[in-house]
Structure 1
């Protein structure tokens, strides 16, 4: 009696449902069974995350496929597969681009896929992802029984659901509580935190985040206090293959030296006074995801040595334990110190520095970002408008000019706090709540303009010392106007606001100084 190929493929998978298997192994067996049922050159299991399909397991495709992210808006074939409840086979002359073209492993010449088949997976009646099958021979799937694939997809959905549930059940009660606290902290933010800007420095930062985010490299984020290093870490994690896993944060400067090791690596019961229960450290909480170590330069040298060992081997020991545990964590570290200088003077280990700074990423200071200060101010203004129950909260032109001319030693954090204070000061000046509340330069309480000019970097072109005073003043005014116009792409109104004068007066002054007045 001839064995039913569908049953031959499904029986091992049914047996696997009750087994405690690693996720990768469970998915590998799933794809092997699929290739046994429907011989082909390549198969893949992809999970739908938002508007992106993320490969979880592949067979027959180049290994780098697992690091790729397929946006549905760019992949009409995947859109077509998800639009149907059952299997779909594309015509061999279909003109839709295939995302796997050139990725089939073991074939020279980067051959395109010629026959392609797929089926969506539904978990609890919700689209979970896709199974895809591809072949270089255009006749591979000509006689395939699509009902068999549909039946297989149903069991595949049960497999992924079992995998996710078993992973959740493996956590003990305390682990669940700690994870819940971590996710609650992330979800409990009063507003979604995001990077904001349009300047060239900001765009360069975004390009670097995108470049290094989708990698496994450790990143050392540097920059002045208040520039938003934690936001950059969150963006790196969000752009990485680990985005579906937790991002755990630890401020190394906020912990006593005797607790740092426990916070990082965990402890067992009785390891020290007060250790009444076993506890996982930040590394174990971040397993599979990312760990953000803020102010990493504050770590004691003894802890630095143990951190280095985890980065080198992926193994750690809880405080008071003999057993080693393995973790898979990407480390994102930050410091406002010059760690290279800290290494030179012996306050930071050179080997740890090089492990952390595989990709150094500098966050620009706010004073280097031009008009981004106004975009950020608008974001904080809207926050305060809602908080204060106002219909409108705005900045006057003078206030905008003050913000742009200030040097911002405290960067974005200083701006956020300043806008909140200024909104309260402006509101306090009204006995009746106004329909539109304006913040003027006086509410900002910034240093006087003369002091800001004194604090500013020297002009790039200094007038010769022997010229008459009037000519020197004219040359300096001409330079300031030219620089302002260049920053604002020759928008005279914007340049006038920055310089704190009327637009018509600025144009008249520019003409007198011999500057070209563009329409």
Structure 2
């Protein structure tokens, strides 16, 4: 049963105890500057009454009932306007209500709202004494208290489930690495973790922003409360309100029951807004209001709930650039970036790649039932030389494939199994290659992959003769680009990349995102590369 149906059952019980033409249960809500009473259930009143809000100050009868301690009955000649005049069900004319009584309803010592009873007969309530009215009030208070207990238990159950999911998801992974960049990052995390400051976690795709959020939560005073995560990139604008703030039954088509949003589930804990840069602008405005006031209002409900949530946002976008282009609200950016943390890409972490690879090998050998998977010296050198455009996530997937290949080729009888460069799927020119293993992206020249980020421009070139097949491929590419014979390798590579990018942009009608997908590159890296190479027509392109 829903809360609405339980409220209706309570009112039906009241009408079974008192003969009347209409009964209403109204909840007290904070209005804009003054409290209002919102009907949550009516019996005998027109259905439109459920959509009305009655400001207490504007309705003398309701105001007097609110001020009364035990409730009261109004004389038929009281002369005070009745809020229900003309609202009785099946009423043929706008006839005034003649008998009216009611009382405040309290839950946990606070005024929850009002119950009102109305009748057309001015003597209908002659037999209803104070004792019976108080019995009705006690019945309602017990039912409402039970309903709120049920709702609180459901909310706690959802929080416990979120906590259990977080516990099963976290705990097994840590921010490994001894590089100076990772040492600084862990120090920054531990500095801000104990506060309630909002943290903005910045970094490329696959660097481990989620692990940063988990460490922040685990070292905070909120560690025993849920860490709730939501992927903003997967939120359609039509459902974002419901996911973040919940909804009331009937708020929209398909809303068949009340639902708690992520802010309510994270109450007392931490909410991770992953890929926050993908939020539509209308949702950004609503998110800003919650961050400013801590008040959450479910769509379809007039009730405002105060939540205590520590927010961590994560993104791989440059939000300052998004603000400049009008795609992200400046006020929300400043609200989220109270304490920014930058997670370094894997290519800037030096030998951390070997420690991470060792951890992934340990996981895989347990998963595959193998023992003693080891990196050969040549494989270690290959991992250190590679640029890792997909960062730690790419390394994890590559090691999983390499472990399976090594186990398949070596069998299970040996004392230990060596991971060789061939198992990794990296070519000999590891400084510029991407894994030869399964990829859904279209083929791209090795040179273009080398320059997917400007910071890779200084990577040392390998001698093509070390790998005849690789050298032949590169020689063919440069030759087809029309490079003069005396041109150096770097100049020839740049020329080919520029021609390839210009052709790709033209093929896709100037759509940079589509051209980047064909190149198998992140859009921002693709754009930076194109600008570095001097591809024409990009100065004003978003």
TM-score (norm 1): 0.54
Partners of 2:236 and 2:459 in 1: CA distance = 46
Of the three residues 237, 240, 250, the one matched with 1:260 is: 240
Partners of 1:444 and 1:234 in 2: CA distance = 30
- Cα drift, residue 432 of structure 1: 5.0
Residue 167 of structure 2 is aligned to residue 209 of structure 1: no
Of the three residues 312, 333, 350, the one matched with 2:313 is: 333
- Cα drift, residue 176 of structure 1: 3.9
Partners of 1:282 and 1:221 in 2: CA distance = 19
Residue 291 to residue 190, structure 1, CA distance change in 2 (3 Å): closer
- The equivalent of 2:398 in structure 1 is 418
Q: What pairs with 1:239-254 in structure 2 (closer than 5 Å)?
A: 239-254=219-234
- The equivalent of 1:385 in structure 2 is 365
- Cα drift, residue 177 of structure 1: 3.9
Residue 189 to residue 216, structure 1, CA distance change in 2 (3 Å): closer
Any conservation in 1 of the 2:386–2:430 contact (CA below 8 Å)? no
What is the DSSP-based 3-state SS (H/G/I as helix, E as strand, rest coil) of the residue aligned with 1:172? Answer: helix
Any conservation in 2 of the 1:222–1:336 contact (CA below 8 Å)? yes
Any conservation in 1 of the 2:357–2:395 contact (CA below 8 Å)? yes
Residue 285 of structure 2 is aligned to residue 296 of structure 1: no
Per-residue deviation, residues 137-156 of structure 1 (Å, max 9, x unmatched): xxxxxxxxxxxxxxxxxxxx
Unmatched runs of 5 consecutive residues or more in structure 2: 1-147, 434-446, 451-455, 461-542
Partners of 1:283 and 1:369 in 2: CA distance = 35
What is the DSSP-based 3-state SS (H/G/I as helix, E as strand, rest coil) of the residue aligned with 2:247? Answer: coil
What is the DSSP-based 3-state SS (H/G/I as helix, E as strand, rest coil) of the residue aligned with 1:195? Answer: coil
Partners of 1:431 and 1:203 in 2: CA distance = 39
- Cα drift, residue 246 of structure 1: 1.2
- The equivalent of 2:381 in structure 1 is 401
- Cα drift, residue 398 of structure 1: 0.3
- Cα drift, residue 413 of structure 1: 0.5
Of the three residues 164, 173, 188, the one matched with 1:184 is: 164
Q: What pairs with 1:408-447 in structure 2 (closer than 5 Å)?
A: 408-447=388-427
- Cα drift, residue 221 of structure 1: 0.5
Per-residue deviation, residues 146-190 of structure 1 (Å, max 9, x unmatched): xxxxxxxxxxxxxxxxxxxxxx96753532442233123223338
Any conservation in 1 of the 2:206–2:391 contact (CA below 8 Å)? yes
Q: Which has the larger radius of gyration?
A: 2
- The equivalent of 1:225 in structure 2 is 205
Unmatched runs of 5 consecutive residues or more in structure 1: 1-167, 461-519
- The equivalent of 2:458 in structure 1 is 458
- Cα drift, residue 427 of structure 1: 1.3
- The equivalent of 2:132 in structure 1 is none
- Cα drift, residue 436 of structure 1: 1.0
Of the three residues 254, 267, 271, the one matched with 2:251 is: 271
Any conservation in 2 of the 1:222–1:360 contact (CA below 8 Å)? yes
Which has the larger displacement, 259-268 or 171-180? 171-180
Any conservation in 2 of the 1:221–1:229 contact (CA below 8 Å)? yes
Partners of 2:312 and 2:352 in 1: CA distance = 25
Per-residue deviation, residues 20-49 of structure 1 (Å, max 9, x unmatched): xxxxxxxxxxxxxxxxxxxxxxxxxxxxxx
- The equivalent of 2:337 in structure 1 is 357
Which has the larger displacement, 398-407 or 238-247? 238-247
Instruction: Calculate the aligned-residue CA RMSD, in Å.
Output: 2.1
- Cα drift, residue 289 of structure 1: 1.1
Residue 265 to residue 459, structure 1, CA distance change in 2 (3 Å): closer
Residue 372 to residue 451, structure 1, CA distance change in 2 (3 Å): closer
Residue 236 to residue 432, structure 1, CA distance change in 2 (3 Å): closer
Which has the larger displacement, 240-249 or 170-179? 170-179
Partners of 2:167 and 2:297 in 1: CA distance = 30
Partners of 2:170 and 2:410 in 1: CA distance = 28
- The equivalent of 2:177 in structure 1 is 197
Which has the larger displacement, 451-460 or 260-269? 451-460
Per-residue deviation, residues 262-282 of structure 1 (Å, max 9, x unmatched): 110010111111111111110
- The equivalent of 2:346 in structure 1 is 366
- The equivalent of 2:292 in structure 1 is 312
Partners of 2:151 and 2:258 in 1: CA distance = 13
- The equivalent of 2:133 in structure 1 is none
Partners of 2:376 and 2:459 in 1: CA distance = 27
Any conservation in 2 of the 1:245–1:288 contact (CA below 8 Å)? yes
What is the DSSP-based 3-state SS (H/G/I as helix, E as strand, rest coil) of the residue aligned with 1:376? Answer: helix
- Cα drift, residue 450 of structure 1: 6.3
- The equivalent of 1:376 in structure 2 is 356
Residue 447 to residue 224, structure 1, CA distance change in 2 (3 Å): farther
Partners of 1:432 and 1:230 in 2: CA distance = 35
Of the three residues 262, 267, 273, the one matched with 1:282 is: 262
Residue 434 of structure 2 is aligned to residue 448 of structure 1: no
What is the DSSP-based 3-state SS (H/G/I as helix, E as strand, rest coil) of the residue aligned with 1:277? Answer: coil
- The equivalent of 2:301 in structure 1 is 321
Any conservation in 2 of the 1:266–1:281 contact (CA below 8 Å)? yes
